[in-house]
Amino acid sequence: MRISVVGAGSWGSAFARYLGGLGMPVTLWILEPEICETLKRTKENTTFLPGYIFPETVTFTTDLGQAAESADVLFIAVPSQFCRRLYRKITGHLSKRQIIVSLTKGFDPTTLKTMSELMSDIIPPGRTTAPVVLSGPSFAREVAAGFPTAVVVASKDIDTARIIQREISSLTLRAYTSRDIKGVETAAALKNVIAIASGIVDSLKYGLNSRAALITRGLVEITRLGLALGARRETFSGLAGIGDLVLTCTGELSRNHWVGQQLGQGKPLNEILSGMKMVAEGVHATLAAKRLARRHGVEMPIAEEIYRILYKGKNAAVAVSELMSRKLRDE
């Protein structure tokens, strides 16, 4: 299959490099011309994935139309707030039933829809197969390094999901399939909110008891909202649920966890974000979580406190204290 990966951040770059290493012809679309020129010259993305050389099977372009038209499978790895505009741009270049796979973990900030829902709204029927999403515990640098990794590929069309499963699986990356695309996308977006909370807890040096409690109660909140949105409960016990949540809440490579650490040290959000090269999806997902929880009448006290810390300037230690002093209840 001919592959294009749209987005040359750390995850898009790592995934393109991985697929190229399997011998597939891969085109990597890059927004920034200067990064593209560096990649063409050195075969290394020194901005977002330094230290890893791309194989000869990967080519680089800034021509989005060419990347879309040349692919049998199009993997999209751009931040959620840019996906609406991107889907509109690629629609005119989709001339056959290509498979589009979202690698993005977030909600559309305007409609609060998942990426697969947004895709279905924008791309006319017949241009693509049913949308597919890929998620699970997968830090970009570890995939690039070839460490054993497991992910989940979800679609309402299980046959399409299985095509992607077969194409991307190897001795270093094992893919499972799921029909619960809603659950996989919801878990993928909301785990970043809890990861910010975990970074705060670690910054405040509250210890492992606190982190374990946070992850557990965070999973409860994610599951509550997921079920309200129509997801299946078992999804949250799998790779896209507890698997990705544990990784993002404990791993040093987690950018959302890092944002939480900075917040715990008292730094303002705008200062934190201005110093980042990559997007921390949890910052935007927190707003979506608050709005979705209100819309569906779901209680999400951790997400609510993260919203107040991020957007209302609430003191992180005070937020933790108020969570601990909530009315006692059954588990």
d(CA 142, CA 304): 32
Asked whether the beta carbons of 152 and 184 are under 8 A apart, the reply is: yes
**Active-site hit among 96, 191, 205, 327:** 191
Quickly tell me which residue has 């050195």 as its tokens.
42
Kind and range of the H or E element at 200? helix 181-203
Phi and psi angles of residue 135, each rounded to the nearest 5 degrees, phi first:
-150, -175
Q: How far is CA 63 from CA 70, 89, 194, 244, 326, in A?
A: 11, 11, 36, 33, 53
Length of the chain: 331
- Alpha-carbon dihedral sign for residues 139, 144, 150, 155: positive
d(CA 179, CA 252): 31
Residues 6+ apart with CB under 8 A from 5: 12, 15, 16, 19, 26, 27, 28, 29, 75, 77
DSSP-derived letter for residue 147 is -
156 is catalytic: no
The residues carrying an active-site annotation are: 191
